[in-house]
Structure 1
Amino acid sequence: MADKIIVLNLGTTSFKCKLFDFARGERAIASCAVERVGAAAPSPWQFKASDARQDGLAPCRDHAAAFHLCIGLLQDHGLIRSLDDLDGAGFKTVHGGPISGAVPVDDAVLAVLDEYAAFAPAHNPMYAALMRQLRAKHPALSQVACFETAFHAGMPAYRATYGVPYAWMTKYGVRRYGFHGASHSYIAAKLRDLAPDARRVISLHLGGSSSLCAIKDGKSIATSMGATPQSGLFQNNRVGDFDLFCLPRLVAGEGSLDRVMDILASASGFLGLSGVSNDLRDVLQAADAGNNQAALAFAAFVDNCIGYIGMFTAYLQGLDAVVFTGGIGLNCAPLREKICQHLDYLGVAIDPKLTTGKISTTNSKIAVWCLETDEELMVARQTHNVLGN
């Protein structure tokens, strides 16, 4: 059986991994995080295990170097002797176009990651690069790509389409895919255990990257992100929903399409709108100090969430539960309170003194939850299933 699974989560300049031991019942026995990957200066890293906490600095020119740094730490702490002790590596992969679910990494998967790199330029290239590096250097290590789009693959076809020529969908893959599937699927499974009667659920994964998902009977029927992770809610520094017919004027003003696209991808969202920061904590602090742009950014984000909740409530034909998760969803009480205030027409009422678990009052007509997600566990399970079969 595939017992020891390492789950890999790559960011543009970050690398995170968790080691799971399925012989101990899906238990995560260690985690490692590396920041500022690719920087000229040494990268800060943190290691955690049940009986150990450690941090330090090390040069990490790319994600492969960060991977080997983490493997070395696992060896130093006696959790593995070598890579041969690992039964597989599961990647929290973003965009596989027509490929859905969890699949072994092979030439076809890598080709699709390349093909859809334009849809996920901040994610696909770095995943493909590390997969290729590991295949070349450690060919015996089984790799599994677990695509974030999988949970949304069952959306009705009429909800996954855009009003574009039909041939674009089949020729270029232009359709709504949705992302954060590992998080939303975890919330669906968790709520089935906590509140099995809650058939109509809206999951709000709010963090540096945010999306909403309408879940009916444990399955995704709608999601706020579309063909790319750029659409839907605006993000920490990504644009979210945007009228593409603004592009000609913006290109004329900014000088090139590449510059405009770079601004929409990295200098928009909370950062661009507030003019303060891409971190909501800083934005709220500035808003409280009287910064009108920061206040506008917060109000607009709340309004984005409210709009999708209203739309998804209609899709679900009612609502039984709302779940907040993700770093912002868990830790930003003012955001939860402001969103729920706008849902009083549905009979939503929360207790501001409650911050985890069920946070709605006893007389609330809709249950409101604040739950920590576990994306890595979902990837580990999928990887274990693929390798076990």
Structure 2
Amino acid sequence: MTATATRVLVLNSGSSSVKYQLLDMKPDSAGGSAAGTRLAVGLVERIGEETSRLAHTPLATGGDTRETEGPIADHEAALKAVAAELSADGLGLDSPQLAAIGHRVVHGGLKFTAPTVIDDAVLKEIERLVPVAPLHNPANITGIRTAQALRPDLPQVAVFDTAFHTTMPEYAARYAIDVATADAHRIRRYGFHGTSHAYVSRKTAELLGKDPSEVNVIVLHLGNGASASAVAGGRCVDTSMGLTPLEGLVMGTRSGDIDPAVTFHLKRVAGMSEDDVDVLLNKKSGLVGLCGDNDMREIRRRIDEGDERARLAFDIYIHRLKKYIGAYTAVLGRVDAVAFTAGVGENAAPVRAAAVAGLEEMGLAVDADLNAVRSGEPRLISPEYARVAVAVVPTDEELEIAQQTYALVNA
């Protein structure tokens, strides 16, 4: 890597999509931390279809978003198309200013506790974890291999969704099942959304004017997928997602916590197959299963019109949130802040107000005026008298990946 190489390309490869951002990690003029200036962002979707679409926004030049449609056969073709768009803006992958490519990898198991430079051994271990992340790791591997082929000379770094949660103590990570069976099949609680929880917990500490090591935070990552974490002094001690992203909070299409015997009952009584139950719990449950909508804005609109199904779905969603806030308050012993983040957490003021309502004895309260403010900046929405701060902290997983990648290759 040259001394002038300060750019990081962040890739998030899905089964039929590639999200990307190019960031410049050059330290600020005061010699402080890396700025993370976005130079370009984009998305390739519907890879492998006739109607593939690439949307590219050159932020460095202030240009308008460019969209192209047409067949993109595979991830290699997708990344070549991305490279061409970047080159058109003078930001090509062949630039000597490109320091590394950072890859979001969903599952790193217990082996990967930090960002890792990818070599053959690392790639084999990511492949070995495919059985516990069958929907995500294969797509991540495809993105890595494609990027390696395009720039074999460049450091490729894996940043794992699970890494932040590897600090959980064994009593929080273990399921109460036969130990030999659990160990033989790698059954334990891994947790996900780790880059978001790491970023938001650190930013919450900054918002309070404290070092992360001094702060205990409950992070509520509320998007279509949703998870909670208990973070003590910058280290995750518990999180709501488990072996898979199904466990925990009510989500857009996932059930969250459920009695495991429901699956046996559905197989015996309803004649459903394992695949049928999998689809039911992951794609036809949660908010969409309860009321037919997984968009919180639409659910709130329906509630305002008197829709009882939407009201019940919202109440179930909030009830689960409160249970986790209470549980993690007990786990942490002392809570300095509760931070809301991701699409719903950042934008749905009624969710934030309802999640905290009735928890005044726990030191939690929301100021209605502060809660109603819409802003892209981290902010407190609790009144000054509240013992526990309530914050809205926009997450930035791409920046977190870029920062971890740049720090590793510059170590």
* Fold match (TM-score > 0.5): yes
1:259-286 CA-to-partner distances (Å, cap 9, x unmatched) read 2212222222221122x22222222222
Q: In the alignment, what sits opposite 2:199? A: 186
Relative to structure 1, is the Cα distance of residues 65 and 240 closer, same or farther in structure 2, using a 3 angstrom cutoff?
farther
Q: Which residue of 2 aligns with 1:281?
A: 297
- The verdict on how the C-alpha distance between 1:39 and 1:267 changes in structure 2, with shifts beyond 3 A counting, is farther
SS of match in other structure, 1:45: strand
Q: Point out the more displaced range, 352-361 or 129-138.
A: 129-138
Within 5 A, what are the aligned runs for 1:13-92? 13-23=16-26, 25=34, 26-50=36-60, 51-58=62-69, 59-80=71-92, 82=94, 86-92=98-104
Match of 1:106 among 108, 114, 119: 119
Instruction: Name the aligned partner's letter for residue 400 of structure 2.
Output: M
Match of 1:17, as an amino acid? Answer: Y
What is the match of residue 258 of structure 1? 275
For normalisation by structure 1, the TM-score amounts to 0.92
Partner residue, 1:163: 176
Is the 8 Å Cα contact of residues 254 and 260 (structure 1) preserved in structure 2?
no
- Name which of 269, 272, 286 aligns with 2:286: 269
Checking the alignment, whether the CA contact within 8 Å between 1:120 and 1:229 is kept in structure 2 is no
For 1:196 and 1:169, locate their aligned partners in 2 and report how far apart those are by CA, in whole Å: 42
Could you tell me how far 1:315 is from its partner in structure 2?
0.7
Match of 2:10 in 1: 7
Check the 8 A contact 2:220/2:340 in 1, yes or no. yes
Aligned-partner Cα distance in 1 for 2:271–2:83: 44
Q: CA deviation at 1:83?
A: 6.3
Structure 2 residue 398 is the aligned partner of structure 1 residue 376: yes
Kindly indicate whether residue 210 of structure 2 is the aligned counterpart of residue 200 of structure 1: no
* Aligned equivalent of 1:363: 385
Task: Compare 189-198 and 371-380 and name the one that shifted more.
Answer: 189-198
Corresponding residue of 1:300 = 316
What is the alpha-carbon distance in structure 1 between the residues aligned to residue 340 and residue 196 of structure 2?
Answer: 11
2: CA distance, partners of 1:62 / 1:288: 44
* Structure 1 residues 287 and 64: alpha-carbon distance in aligned structure 2, compared to 1, 3 A threshold: farther
Q: Secondary structure at the match of 2:297?
A: helix
SS in 2 for 1:353: helix
Query: Take 1:46 and 1:343, find their aligned partners in 2: how far apart are those partners?
Result: 44
What is the DSSP-based 3-state SS (H/G/I as helix, E as strand, rest coil) of the residue aligned with 2:320?
Answer: helix
Residue 220 (1) aligns with residue 226 (2)? no
Partner Cα separation in structure 1 for residue 368 and residue 74 of structure 2: 43
Identity %: 37
Q: After TM superposition, give the deviation of residue 80 of structure 1 in Å.
A: 2.6
Contact 1:188/1:219 (8 A) holds in 2:
no
d(CA) in 1 for partners of 2:126 and 2:199?
A: 24
Runs of at least 4 residues of structure 1 off by over 6 A? none
Q: Structure 2-normalised TM-score?
A: 0.88
CA contact (8 A) 2:6 2:97 kept: no
d(CA) in 2 for partners of 1:336 and 1:273? 20
1:326 and 2:342 equivalent?
Answer: yes
In the alignment of these two chains, the number of paired residues is: 388
Q: In structure 2, how many angstroms separate the alpha carbons of the residues matched to 1:126 and 1:286?
A: 37
Q: Secondary structure at the match of 1:297?
A: helix
Q: From 311, 326, 329, give the equivalent of 1:310.
A: 326
Q: Which of the residues 213, 237, 243 maps onto 2:253? A: 237
Secondary structure, aligned partner of 2:220: strand
Contact kept? 1:205, 1:324, Cα under 8 Å: yes
**1:226-283 per-position Cα deviation (integer Å, ceiling 9, x unaligned):** 1211111132112221222222232242542112212222222221122x22222222
Q: Deviations over 1:309-365 (max 9, x none)?
A: 100000111221111111111101110111121322323222222235111112222
- The question of whether the paired residues in 1 share the 8 Å contact of 2:16 and 2:48 is answered with yes
| Cα distance in 1 for residues equivalent to 2:271 and 2:108 | 32
Q: CA deviation at 1:124?
A: 1.0
Structure 2 residue runs of 5 or longer lacking an equivalent are 28-33
Cα deviation 1:124-176 (Å, max 9, x = unaligned): 11111222233345422321111111111111111111001112343221111
| AA matched with 1:365 | R
| Distance in structure 2 (CA, Å) of the matches to 1:347 and 1:329 | 20
What is the distance in 2 between the residues matched to 1:250 and 1:40? 38
Note the residue ranges of structure 1 that are not aligned, 5 or more in a row: none
Give the letter for the 1:55 counterpart. R
| Counterpart code for 2:105 | T
Amino acid at match of 1:123: H
Q: Give the match's secondary structure for 1:96.
A: coil
CA contact (8 A) 1:322 1:368 kept: yes
Distance 2:93 2:400 in 1: 25
Segment of structure 1 superposing worse, 302-311 or 236-245:
236-245
Whole-angstrom CA distance in 1 between matches of 2:347 and 2:24: 29
